[in-house]
Amino acid sequence: MTELRIERLLPTDFLASSLRQDARAGLTASPKSLPPKWFYDAQGSALFEKITELREYYPTRAERAILRSASAEIAAASRAHTLVELGSGSSDKTRLLLDALREAGSLRRYVPVDVSESALRAAAHRLLAGYPGLSVHAVVSDFGRNLGLPADDAHQPRMIAFLGSTIGNMLPAQRAEFLARIRASLSVGDTLLLGTDLVKDPATLVAAYDDPAGITGAFNKNVLAVLNTQLGADFDLDTFDHVALWDPENEWIEMRLRSSLAQSVRLPAIELTVEFADGEQMRTEVSAKFRRDGIESELAAAGFAMRSWWTDPERLFGLSLSVPA
């Protein structure tokens, strides 16, 4: 029988303490920055879904094309009874994996993990209808603190999927720590399926993060709306401009917000007033781009051996399947 369980692993003071700490640390740093996980309230998650449909935003289409052609191979190699997906969002592309695992006869349980409770609930309810007999155990968690893997040992082997190149939103040291933490929680027989956007010409990359319709700009500014709602801040979103630029040295896209005037912003909940100079830029996201050798080395350093690597026909995106080394 189909079963849905929603578990909340966020500490009860998540917004009250984590957001406050991140806002204080990021807004008093020089240069200022905010971590990308705060984009994703209900409005931010909905805007991200719109981004995935933009003509310029190729990563979702490219990763879906890979999954369409490789899912049967992935299912056969992993023989996963449990699919855990970190940062699952809408779980839309995941259907290709669920279908292949079901076809292979191994699938028992799907564990989507996301910080956005609204996205998680909507996705879990949509999935239930299509997968009779599947147990969906949705976990609301900040995977930076708690991966949200089921504590029981039932339904092994497990495949951990981390799609959408969300790993690119971490800085290199965070990535190393994160991959090592995943590795430490896996057993022999488990697998890691990792989606990584690839280095390509800067014009294509920048266009994917700076669409003319302004959807990515609205998504970027949503972090200010979250601070307004949650911390009573008085950011005027119209006085910040969306910036997307390619950093060739670090091989990442950086999203920033640029203040169009000198201004003071108040955040009463943390008793902070922040000064922005005219033209000052604040980093809101990095989106690292990868090369096969580089990600294979990062995986090896964390204790994984890459077993398979797939790309789409245009070589825009890479998907790898790794096992504990």
Ligand X SMILES: C[S@@+](CC[C@H](N)C(=O)[O-])C[C@H]1O[C@@H](n2cnc3c(N)ncnc32)[C@H](O)[C@@H]1O
Chain contacts with ligand X (rule: CB under 6 A) = 37, 40, 45, 48, 52, 60, 87-89, 93, 114-116, 119, 142-144, 163-164, 166
- Alpha carbon 164 to chain centroid distance? 6
Integer-rounded Cα Rg, in Å, for the chain is 20
Pair of tokens at residue 154: 């039932």
Rank residues 141 and 191 by Cβ distance to ligand X and give the closer one: 141
Burial 221-247 (b: 16+ CB within 10 A, else e): bbbbbbbbebbebebeeeebebbbebe
Smallest gap from Cβ 183 to ligand X, in A, equals 18
Smallest gap from Cβ 1 to ligand X, in A, equals 27
Beta strands in 198-279 (DSSP E): 240-247, 252-259, 263-267, 272-276
Rank residues 26 and 87 by Cβ distance to ligand X and give the closer one: 87
Smallest gap from Cβ 203 to ligand X, in A, equals 21
Smallest gap from Cβ 142 to ligand X, in A, equals 4
Rank residues 147 and 257 by Cβ distance to ligand X and give the closer one: 147
Smallest gap from Cβ 280 to ligand X, in A, equals 25
Smallest gap from Cβ 253 to ligand X, in A, equals 12
Residue in the shown chain whose Cβ atom is closest to ligand X:
164
Rank residues 75 and 163 by Cβ distance to ligand X and give the closer one: 163
On whether the CB atoms of residues 57 and 307 are closer than 8 A, the answer is no
Rank residues 123 and 231 by Cβ distance to ligand X and give the closer one: 123
Helix (H, G, I), strand (E, B) or coil at 183: helix
Rank residues 81 and 95 by Cβ distance to ligand X and give the closer one: 95
In the chain, what is the straight-line distance between the N-terminal and C-terminal CA atoms, in Å?
36
Helix (H, G, I), strand (E, B) or coil at 228: helix
On whether the CB atoms of residues 147 and 183 are closer than 8 A, the answer is no
Rounded Cα gap, residues 85 and 6, in angstroms:
14
Pair of tokens at residue 163: 């799609």
Rounded Cα gap, residues 294 and 143, in angstroms:
23
Rank residues 10 and 269 by Cβ distance to ligand X and give the closer one: 10
Peptide bond into 324 cis (omega under 30): no
Neighbouring-strand partners of residue 323: 305
Which DSSP symbol is given to 241?
A: E
Smallest gap from Cβ 236 to ligand X, in A, equals 25
